[in-house]
Amino acid sequence: MQFEEQLRIAEQKYDELTERLQDGSIAADPAKLAALMKEYKQLTPVVEAYRSYSACKNTIDGLDSLLADPESDAEFRAMAQEERLTETARLAELKTEIERLLMPENEADSRNVIVEIRSGAGGEEAALFAHSLHRMYSMYAERQGWQQTVMNLSQTELGGTKEVTFSLSGDHVYAKMKFESGVHRVQRVPETESQGRVHTSTVTVAVLQEVEDVEFELNPNDLRIDVFRSSGAGGQHINKTSSAIRVTHIPTGMVVECQDERSQYKNKDRALAVLRARLYAKAQAEQDAQVAAERRGQVGTGDRSEKIRTYNFPQSRLTDHRIGFSLYRLEDVMNGDLDAVFDALIQAEQAEKLTQNAADA
């Protein structure tokens, strides 16, 4: 289907929806009204951009007619030519915007996620930064109205985080959190550093799509489930009952532990959810590797070995290495203000998709 024909159909559908929404019988049916309003809101930016695009094309056509008039004077023609250049540039921008709006949404973007944060190189400083990253994501989730559930937490005696696993649920969580998988590097002066030297430490983040049992079924015969006592920082027992769960996936050797809940059954359910998400991610990665036609850009690859970002505290700078983006508001970022970072990553991803679509056309 041609570009403009597709847009004309969208505009016709939009006009039909506008008329139906004015029907009193629709307002009396909340479910139907909600469905129509959702479709109307999805079409609105596309139709508005298309109408601007059409108006811009008409302006250019009018200017072309004026420029073709042999009786027009030189000064008028120069002004018309300058305006035409401006409108032509605007037309190209509108076309790109419409192509972005027409891109089909990735179904995975609407999923909830399971996030695993692990301290890497740097000892206690890495564990302290892992704690800071968990706090950053928690504050961002609160801003977004997402719900967080901690599934497993292993802390150090100084308040750092060796490892934390938590779920985030809400509206389009994966659409933003998918960019966070990889190695996060921090450069700062540790509190224990008496000489004031800047240390470099790393933390690994993995973002997994949360999947239901019906989507990815686990074979009970492939699982070994062990029960043990929960323990706190330094190995101190915080629970006298055996409620912590360790699930081992025998074919892959993958191990998941959950001990944050006092209920053995809740810990088991959460451990299985994490295992299911990990195995689903593994299966997807293998499938992507086998399908040569599916090319993946740098943004959002989810490669855990890839150093994706640096947090430089002396310069108050965050740099995302995948897109060459830097932001000098590190304190705000660490307090959960990640909108500018995610917006830049989303724009880069969309630009990559548009370029790929043009190459495949």
pLDDT exceeds cutoff 80 at 59: yes
Q: Is residue 197 over pLDDT 90?
A: no
Bridge partners, residue 247, by sequence: 225, 256
Measured between alpha carbons, how far is 12 from 20 in angstroms, rounded to an integer? Answer: 12
Could you tell me what percent of the chain has a pLDDT over 90?
36
300 vs 5, more confident: 5
> Where do runs of H (alpha helix) occur along the chain?
3-21, 24-27, 30-67, 74-102, 123-144, 173-177, 264-290, 330-334, 339-360
Q: Provide mean pLDDT across the span 11-15.
A: 90
**pLDDT exceeds 80 at position 66:** yes
End-to-end CA gap in the chain: 12
User: What's the CATH code, domain 107-291+302-352?
Assistant: 3.30.70.1660
Read off the pLDDT band of 356 (50, 70, 90). low
For residue 292, what pLDDT band results from cuts at 50, 70 and 90? very low
- List, in sequence order, every beta strand (DSSP E) within 143-302: 147-155, 161-169, 182-188, 199-209, 223-228, 244-249, 254-258
Give the tens place of pLDDT for each residue, 233-242. 444 444 455 6
Residue 261 has pLDDT above 70, yes or no: no
φ, ψ of residue 335 to 5 degrees: the values are -95, 15
Q: Confidence class of residue 34 from pLDDT cuts 50, 70 and 90?
A: confident
Asked whether 145 and 267 are in contact (CB, 8 A), the reply is no
**Amino acid letter, residue 7:** L
Give the pLDDT mean for 38-47: 87
**How far is Cα 52 from Cα 228, in angstroms, rounded to an integer?**
64
Q: Cα 225 to chain center, whole Å? A: 33
